[in-house]
Every structure is written in structure tokens, then in C-alpha cells.
Structure 1
Amino acid sequence: MPLSRRNTRSESSKNDEEENGIDTSDTKKKKKMSYVKKDPDQWIFLLNDSIVQESPDEENKPVICRLRHPRTGLGALFLFAKGDREVYEVTQFKEENRSWFIGNYVQQDGSLYITTPVDPVFLALPYLIKMEKTNKYMTADQIIHDDEFSETSRLCNTSRVSELHQVSQTKGSDSLCAYKFDKEKTLSWLKIKTERVAEVLEEKNISVCGAHSATFVRSKKSATGSKEDYLRYAHGMISDYLPQDLSSDLRQYLGIPSAPEKRPSEAENPPSKKVKLEDITPTEDYSKMGGIQEDKAKSKSKLSAAQKKLSQVDKTGMKSISSFFSPKSSKT
């Protein structure tokens, strides 16, 4: 039977592969595994030279940690440098179909990681607000603690952790100080931060009035925004590092009016772009009149000089050419 022949052939081929040391059972699996993307063991960073300065002390080497982001509450990457005295936010810039050429090696991950300095007080604020419920004064290491993100305690070693007194009430001495969240002091501190950012934006002539095309030419009127525009934009930048409730309180504290919200009817039922034909139908038919006038104008414009002279001749008593070709009437 043909089926038995095929079976014997397949069995013989398997036997040959086994004799040659080919593992037929794992061949396909190995091929699939060869296409699995591996996590890169190196990344491309854009950072300050002072962060990566060589130091004999291992504690001064930069360390990347995952901390809780003050805005979202989710994990985010931060970099500690110079013995945890400085902290930087790590932002990933990634686009599709990008890679890096490093010597003779091609790195598939074309991401670029950018580091920007961040005030550690912003990272400590959510923990300070959380401990407000206890109505107790606590030290920095008692407040800045997170079981999910164990590296959070590094914030206590930063050089600006002493600035917590700007957003809290304090007790004790400089060597042993306890803190308790103060909302009024926090809003006053954030107001100074926001106004300072707005001043820098205005000095740099940063456009805050909306998005523009790359080829857009600014006029004198559109080049500068109002004080309120810069303050609103600065508030948005500061709010990227604040909890939602504190961001709303800061907006009211600054006297920034809330953006007008769209009506539900406008958002759910947008105006129809389709125009009904019966609404634009004319009450009178002007097409015939226009056609007659156009035909007359065309006929007048097409007359030659001889035709114009012929039209001026007296044609009384003259027969037209068509009369010679018409059938003659029978005489009775």
C-alpha cells in the first residue's frame, strides 16, 4: 500500500537523522528559541559627566532604582549618584524600528535614557501626606518607607532631605528632627516653585499658547503669552510630580481658573456634517434662463466678419437657401 511505503520512508529518514546525531524532536524548538529577544545588558544614557566620575569608593557609584512615582503611584526608574546625595529621574525615549551601532555590535533596543535632576521632596511628599492621618511627628526614616519599593529609604540620604521643613511642621533639633505634614506651608512652597518655573519659561520665550507647526512663523502678537498662560503651563509641569488632589489645591491656591469643559451633548452628539439636499434646493428654476443667455452670447461671439455684413443686408423679398430644397407644392 502507498501509505505503508510513506510510513517506512519517514521511519527510515528518522533513523538516518538519529544515526547522524540529529535530534529531530528538539529541532523546531531550537529554531523558535533562536528568535526570542533577550533583554539588553547595556543601555544608552544621556547624563552629566559628574555622575559617572571614577571614584575608588563603591558607595559613590551611580545606582538605578525603582521608586514609587509621586503622580501615578506606580514604579518608575530613578538614579542615585554621589553616595545617594543626588537623585535623578530616568526617562525612556523609545521609537519603533530603532537600534544602536556600538563598534561592531548592533544593539536591537534603540531606546535612549535621559536623566534629569529632581527634588527629593516631591518624592517624599506622598509618604508625608499618608502619615498625616496618624497626627504624629515622625523622623524622615520613619516617614519615607515603602515595603513594595525597598530602595525608597535612599531618599533619606539625599542632601536636600532637610528641606522637608518647607512642607511640614518640625520638632526637635537638627541632629534629630521630626516632621508632620503642613498643607498651608506646602502650598506656599509649591507656589514659589511654580512662579519660578513660569519666569524661566517667559525668559526663554517658550511658546505656551498651543502647538505650532515646524514651519510656523510667529507674529509679535502670538509670540508672547500672558502671565496667566505661563503660570498655567508651569502649574502643569509641577503637577507631573504631585498627587491629583494636591495639584487641584495648588491650582486654586494660585487662582488659576479651571479649563472649560465641553458639554455632554456636544461631546456625545457632534454636529452632523452631512447637509440635507432639500434645504438648499432653490424655489425657482434659473437654469433655463441662464442656458438661453449663454447660447445667445456664444452665437454672437462666433459670428465672422462676413456673417456680420450679411446680417446688415435688407433681406425683404429674398428666399432662404433652405426653400430651394423643400418640395414644391402641386398646382391645381
Structure 2
Amino acid sequence: MQCKPGEVRVLVAKGIAGGEGPQHFIALPDPRTGQLSSYLLTGGCLQEVNWFKQQYSSWFIGNSVAQDGGLYLGTPVDPLLVLLPLLEKARAEQNVFQDLEQILSMAASPSAHLLLPLLGSGEQLGCLCDVKSAGGQNYFRLNDERVVAWLRLKVDQAKAAMQASPAAAFSNMDDVSLTAYAAGLLGEYLAQHWQDRLAAALNLPEDLPQRVHAAPPADYGAQPSEKKARMDPKEAAKAKAAEARQANKAAKLAKEASGMRKLSSFFAARPAAAK
């Protein structure tokens, strides 16, 4: 969704209200599809920007009205996920150790250099790369084993966050289902071959429930999702919980009904009076 010149829109993002330093909207390749996507860089935090629209709603903004009720949502994202495809491209083209500026130049975006202050001297890239230092400068080359180990750590962090969540759907999941769901969330930012390698490293079974992506309503003006159907144990847990609630409700009704007289008993023929 593009803003027209002079158009006022609602943006919900980390660091906006406090005005934490400069704010930059930049275009970077999506780590899963490679297509340019919108990001917000503010307060030392990289956030992906998504468009959300709810039906039958509007925003009052000062003296104007945003009639369609849409808004932009900024969600913090690990910059290493954005750098991963660039590191792959750098290795595929030259297979040598390169500095951060060379790696960022692989992006089809002139604003990618704005990530340099966020990455500093690149110590974080040691999670994904072999590192060499020369002349006070660090140089990097992607290491697949480091990437898989890092992704497994990200899955563990996501699982810990979900286990601490009050959401009942997570508490009903077993460890395998929770691991699969966390891997599925992370997979939204990974190319298919990394998704496959991560699933293999986690020993995930292939017969878990698959997520079904519903097409957005026609009046949203959006195209149906092209994302691959992904296993989603959360939906299975919801269905299981719903079945349990139905069973409990039926048992409760049966218990209450056990002490009741049948309706037909109120209309039984009275015994004939003695003459």
C-alpha cells in the first residue's frame, strides 16, 4: 500500500512516540522472496513495515479522516535475517571474505548502507560467518553450519517466549508441536532451502498439520497469499480445545438432565378414580 503525496496515515511502531533519533524508511530485499520490502530504521532498531486494514473502520487524524481504516505496523526484525541472503549472494559470486560495505552492496537497494550504524563493526555476523581481521577491519564469509546453529537458537528463543505467553493455545501444545510452530514462524523470513535444513536439524516430522492460508477479502484489494502452506500445530490445538469444550458441555448437560423428569411425564394419563 503506497501513500499518496500529502496523504496522512497511521503508523504504529517501536520508538516513534518517543522520537528516538532519526527515522528512515528504507527498501530492502525480503529475506524469503528477495523482493523489495519496506522497513523502518529508528532508535537502533530495524522494523518491517506491513499494511493492515480492518473493514468498516476509519481513523480521525487531526482535522482529517482516513476513511479506509488502514494503518502501518512496524515489527522489530533481526537484521541478520535480512543479511542472510546477501551473505549467500556474496559467497556465491566471489567466495572470499568481504567487509560489510561489500556485502551490503549486494542488495538491490541504494539505502542498504543505512544498516551500517546498526551493525557496528559486524560482531553479530560471527553468528553466521567465519570472520577474519586485517588492518583493524573485519571480513566475513558465510558458514552454513553456523547459520543452522543460529537458527536453532532462534527457535529455542521463540519457544521460550511462547511458553511464557498466557495464550492457552501454546500451553496445550507438546514440545514437538511447539518446536514446529516456532520453526514455522521463523520460516517466514527464510528461503525454502534454509527452512528444509532447519526442519532436518530439529528432526521435525513431516505429518504435522498444514497451515491453510485464506485469501484476503476482495474489498481489501490484496492478492491471495503466495506463501507455501506451512505446518501450524496452533490450529490443531485450537480444534482439539474446541472439541474438548464441546465434550465437557455435553457431559454437563447430560448430568443436569439426569435429575429431570421427561416432558412426556407431565402429560401421562391419570389413574381412574374409584367408584
What range is the shorter-chain TM-score in?
0.5 to 0.7
> What's the counterpart of residue 9 of structure 1?
none
> What's the counterpart of residue 73 of structure 1?
34
Q: Is residue 2:99 matched to residue 1:151?
A: no
In 2, Cα distance between equivalents of 1:171 and 1:202: 38
Contact 2:90 2:106 (C-alpha < 8 Å) held by counterparts: no
Contact 2:12 2:73 (C-alpha < 8 Å) held by counterparts: yes
| SS at 2:153 equivalent | helix
Q: Label 1:98 to 1:66 Cα distance change in 2 as closer, same or farther (>3 A).
A: farther
For structure 2, list consecutive stretches of 5 or more residues without a partner in the other structure. 211-275
Contact 1:40 1:107 (C-alpha < 8 Å) held by counterparts: no
> What's the counterpart of residue 248 of structure 1?
196
Q: Is residue 2:142 matched to residue 1:176?
A: no
AA at the equivalent of 2:60: F
Contact 1:99 1:111 (C-alpha < 8 Å) held by counterparts: yes
Size of the aligned set, in residue pairs, is 207
> What's the counterpart of residue 9 of structure 2?
43
| SS at 2:111 equivalent | helix
CA-CA distance at 1:192 after TM superposition: 0.8
TM-score normalized with structure 1 length: 0.57
| SS at 2:84 equivalent | helix
Q: Label 1:109 to 1:180 Cα distance change in 2 as closer, same or farther (>3 A).
A: same
Give the counterpart of 2:85 among 126, 134, 146: 126
Q: Is residue 2:61 matched to residue 1:89?
A: no
CA-CA distance at 1:176 after TM superposition: 0.6
CA-CA distance at 1:53 after TM superposition: 3.6
Q: How big is each residue's C-alpha offset from its partner over 1:6-28, in whole Å with a ceiling of 9 and x where there is no partner?
A: xxxxxxxxxxxxxxxxxxxxxxx
- CA-atom RMSD, angstroms? 2.6
| SS at 1:41 equivalent | coil
CA-CA distance at 1:205 after TM superposition: 4.5
AA at the equivalent of 1:90: V
CA-CA distance at 1:39 after TM superposition: 5.5
| SS at 1:148 equivalent | coil
In 2, Cα distance between equivalents of 1:147 and 1:86: 19
Q: Label 1:207 to 1:132 Cα distance change in 2 as closer, same or farther (>3 A).
A: farther
In 1, Cα distance between equivalents of 2:40 and 2:158: 23
| SS at 1:141 equivalent | helix
Contact 1:86 1:159 (C-alpha < 8 Å) held by counterparts: no
How is 1:112-261 mapped onto 2 (pairs within 5 angstroms)?
112-133=71-92, 134-146=94-106, 148-159=108-119, 161-172=122-133, 175-208=136-169, 224-259=172-207
CA-CA distance at 1:235 after TM superposition: 0.1
TM-score normalized with structure 2 length: 0.67
| SS at 1:232 equivalent | helix
CA-CA distance at 1:206 after TM superposition: 3.5
Moved >4 Å (runs of 4+):
37-40
Contact 1:94 1:111 (C-alpha < 8 Å) held by counterparts: yes
For structure 1, list consecutive stretches of 5 or more residues without a partner in the other structure. 1-36, 210-222, 263-332
Structure of greater Rg: 1
Q: Label 1:207 to 1:229 Cα distance change in 2 as closer, same or farther (>3 A).
A: farther
| SS at 1:113 equivalent | strand
Task: Name the structure where strand makes up a greater proportion of residues.
Answer: 2
> What's the counterpart of residue 317 of structure 1?
none
| SS at 1:189 equivalent | helix
> What's the counterpart of residue 282 of structure 1?
none
CA-CA distance at 1:155 after TM superposition: 1.8
AA at the equivalent of 2:36: G
Q: How big is each residue's C-alpha offset from its partner over 1:37-76, in whole Å with a ceiling of 9 and x where there is no partner?
A: 956622211123x445457xxxx31111121110121121
Q: Label 1:74 to 1:105 Cα distance change in 2 as closer, same or farther (>3 A).
A: same
CA-CA distance at 1:207 after TM superposition: 4.8
AA at the equivalent of 2:151: L
Identity %: 25
CA-CA distance at 1:174 after TM superposition: 9.0
AA at the equivalent of 2:197: D
